[in-house]
Chain A
Amino acid sequence: MLRFAPWRVASIIALVIVAALLVVPSFLTPGALAGLQSVLPSFLPARAIVLGLDLQGGAHVLLEVDSPSVTKSQVEALRDDVRGKLREGRISIAGGIALQPKGVQVRIADPAERAKAVELLSSLNQPIGNAIMGPSGHTLDVKDAGDGTVQVALTDAAIADKVRRAVSQSIEVLRRRVDALGTTEPNIQQQGSDRVLVEVPGLQDTTRLKEILGTTAKLEFRLVADPGDPPNEVENLPEQQGGTIPVQKRVMVEGEDLIDAQNAFDQNGQPDVNFRFNLRGGQRFGQVTSENVGRLFAIVLDGKVISAPRILGPITGGSGQITGNFTVEQADNLAVLLRAGALPAKLTIVEERTVGPGLGQDSIDAGKRAALVGGAAVVIYMLATYGIFGVFADLALGVHILFIFASMALLGATLTLPGIAGVVFTIGMAVDSNVLIYERIREEAHLGRSVISALDAGFRRAFATIVDSNVTMFVAAVILYLFGSGPVRGFAVSLGLGILTSIVTAVTMTRMMIALWYRYQRPTKLPI
């Protein structure tokens, strides 16, 4: 063991230098880092370690797509399709189309036509899949229920697919919305099957963020009902100022035809929102307004009437204003929401965590202090116990810490407060491998072995134990990463990386140092 090839020494030293270079960016100011990045070629990573929200301060909001309502509207759309298909095939039905939690049921008036109805409705069935994997299922199960009815059920795959698409659409919309707030580097990502995580570093008061995130922003222009309208085409909607107003169910123009919205002020100095339609929306809006001069039209946002102005004349320019007793901030929010578009489904906030910059900085300071003091205590203790071998262990410990941070920078892992705790804990654990080796060397020496043979046996015999004992710890770290959430995952990351690097440093590096020491000192007696 004490022959250590020069190329191995060289490669270990090279590894340490690379690790040191990887850590350098984390100690630069943002300005200096940007300067460095512009100088370096792009394949060389110059990344600072990402600090978790618990250290840099900021807001974390977890939203959940309301899957039942997604499925409900999916079932309603299915009902319309079924009705259309049956009408197309001139099949008459007895009674209405019954909605079920995951499908619809329809009674066919003429039993002889049931088979035809099943065949016809089966044409609604579509394959599900993606470009890479190919079709993986289909959307509908159509079957003759036997009691004179035909059942059309959505498959679980179809429901999951719809929710998945709602989530990815939501992420796009939320990204546009949060970007409009002008915050730095928000992080928006999917979590689980039906959740979206929004993280905004540096944000303090989440009131506005939550308003922006939690609003569906489905905008509709509809006519206010006349007394003469058929009652089943009219619904009463709440007004923003209170009370309700009867509004036609038919939507004239929808928010998706908007191409721009800006907050502004009307002639009375009241905040309002100016908007512009695309070509289709503009034409449609012009047509409806010219046919209905003198009537009221309602501007409906998420099922609530914001305002119901009278149509004074045809509006053909493709633009207009929404007024509604807004404050400046409300008008601004509405403009942001309309520009970013509506969410495909309602989102509910299920978790919120905000850390102020004061606490974040305090945590960084406390973590640093604990790491320095804890590290110093371990270093001194090792030194006092093992002398020159303690120096080797301490050097290996320094490299171990360097390697943890370097691998975090390389992997783009996030450093959190529990992550710092994990580093401090691994400082205590990393020297365990050294201790196992050294104690074994002592034992072997006590058995009367020569220096070289004691060193050799110590390393050899301790190694199996080191691997076994670290595997158990590593398994715990991996599982914590899989099942943990938020900052706790940071602990799992630093613990897991720490175990891996400590095996390298405490075994390989220590061995190298002892080998070199032995070669130059030629000791006749072990110093431990």
Chain B
Amino acid sequence: MKRLRLAPENTKFGFMRFRRVSYPLSATLSIFSVLMFFFVGMNFGIDFSGGTQVLLRAKSGVADIAALRTSAESLGLGAVEVQRIGPESDAVVRVGVQPGGEAGQQNAVGLMRRAFGNDYEFREVDQVGPRVSGELVQKGTLGIVVSIIAVLTYLWFRFEWQFAVGAIIGTMHDLLLTVGFFCVTQLEFNSASIAAILTIVGYSLNETVVVLDRIREVMRKYKRLSTAEIVDMSVNAVLPRTIMTATTVFLALLALFFLGGEVIRSFSAAMIWGIFVATYSSIFICSPMLIYLGVRHDVFDKAETAESAQTSAGARAKV
């Protein structure tokens, strides 16, 4: 039986040469993402912006967006956003935080139920007060920061510090580009998006660790080679695995994106983007970083100490 191989065998690509392209490219994209974040901004869902959002389905026929907008605007709830979502019969109506504290928000839900209740089925009602949304922003940001610190600490214990630095630069790069993705696509950014970002962080580090693990192994074996050669050799060695795993995860996410329903579509989209970015950065951003950080001596020293420790332990065991 002929086997399917997406990755060619025994490749010898000179990945490290690409750093002259990948670094400027990634730097540009990262800066672009930051600029987009400050000047265009993300489309914050009501989890973070607060307010009220209802998902409606017309009891018969097609949702009349124009009529919905007129009737929603007449409720006096400030700026109203009305959009079609998913099938023709569905629409989403969103209003911002109402004046009058938490009680003001409650009023908005009641008004909308009265205004649309006759013609539409309320598939989902979400109402987030200003206090809760503020906390969700805080917790979300804190979660991302804490996860990065935690994982960094692990990497720092497990690898030489240069690896941890490379990994963190790669992770930051993926984070920024994901933020940029949300800014450009204007996909709704909500609690699930935080989950997507954290998963991307996890996946990105997963990819990076696999490559770094191999670099360390090769480095100890071939002391004569230059760092660039070692990195190239290692990346080529793990390339089939990188492509395999990215493909299986991509297949699963693709199913989620097309079949998982409207509710988690933006989540799936962000994850798909994240898989690509994470795979790219593990090869073209993190690994070349080691060339600049002068990792070799540390690794050799450790390897030698480990060896000598082993020998002496063995010697002692014999005695």
Contacts and interface: CB of A to CB of B under 8 A. Distances in A.
Given A359-B55, A359-B123, A483-B140, A491 B209 contact: no
B201 interface: yes
A495 B250 contact: no
Interface stretch (B144-152, B181-189, B296-304): B144-152
B252 A378 contact: yes
Interface string B246-258: 0111111111101
A482 B146 CA distance: 10
A421 B210 contact: no
Interface stretch (A77-85, A228-236, A430-438): A430-438
B245 A356 contact: no
Interface stretch (A9-17, A244-252, A268-276, A363-371): A363-371
A206 B252 contact: no
Given A484-B143, A485-B139, A473 B241 contact: no
Contact of A468 (B121, B209, B263): B209
A385 B209 contact: no
A210 B106 contact: yes
A377 B127 contact: no
Contacts of B315: none
A374 B126 CA distance: 30
Contacts of B4: 381, 384-385
Given A355-B123, A359-B55, A374 B255 contact: yes
B252 A424 contact: yes
A351 B132 contact: yes
A468 B255 contact: no
B191 A374 contact: no
A375 B234 CA distance: 30
Nearest to A380: B251
B210 A469 contact: yes
B264 interface: yes
B195 A475 contact: no
A451 interface: no
Interface string B113-128: 1000000011111111
A73 B247 CA distance: 62
Contacts of B125: 206, 352-354
A432 B191 contact: no
B77 interface: no
Interface residues of B, number: 81
Contacts of A473: 199, 202-203, 205-206
A492 interface: yes
A296 to B, nearest CB: 31
Question: Which secondary structure characterizes the binding site on chain B?
Answer: helix
A484 B138 CA distance: 11
A349 B247 CA distance: 45
A303 to B, nearest CB: 15
Contacts of B191: 484-488
Nearest to A371: B255
Contacts, number: 243
A374 B102 contact: no
A492 B195 contact: yes
Contacts of B255: 369-371, 373-374, 377, 424
B294 interface: no
Question: Which secondary structure characterizes the binding site on chain A?
Answer: helix
Nearest to A483: B143
B317 interface: no
Contacts of A486: 191
A525 interface: no
A418 B192 contact: yes
Most central of A432, A486, A528 by chain B CB within 10 Å: A432
A469 B10 CA distance: 24
A475 B241 contact: no
A349 B109 CA distance: 12
B267 interface: yes
B271 interface: yes
A363 B263 contact: yes
Contacts of B260: 366-367, 369-370, 420-421, 424
A239 B222 CA distance: 89
A435 B128 CA distance: 43
A464 B213 contact: yes
Contacts of A348: 101-103
A384 B2 CA distance: 8
A386 interface: yes
Interface in A374-393: 374-375, 377-378, 381-382, 384-387
Interface string A466-490: 0011111101110110111111100
A472 B271 contact: no
A350 B124 CA distance: 17
A385 B194 contact: no
A439 B7 CA distance: 11
B110 interface: yes
29 contacts: A207-B113, A351-B129, A354-B122, A354-B124, A358-B123, A363-B263, A370-B259, A374-B253, A377-B252, A384-B3, A385-B4, A421-B267, A424-B252, A427-B252, A429-B249, A432-B206, A435-B245, A439-B238, A439-B240, A464-B213, A468-B210, A470-B206, A472-B155, A473-B206, A476-B198, A479-B198, A484-B195, A487-B192, A491-B192
7 closest A-B pairs by beta carbon, nearest first, are: A483-B143, A374-B255, A476-B202, A366-B261, A428-B252, A428-B249, A472-B205
Given A214-B106, A381-B4, A428-B252, 6 more contacts: A348-B101, A358-B121, A369-B260, A370-B258, A381-B248, A492-B195
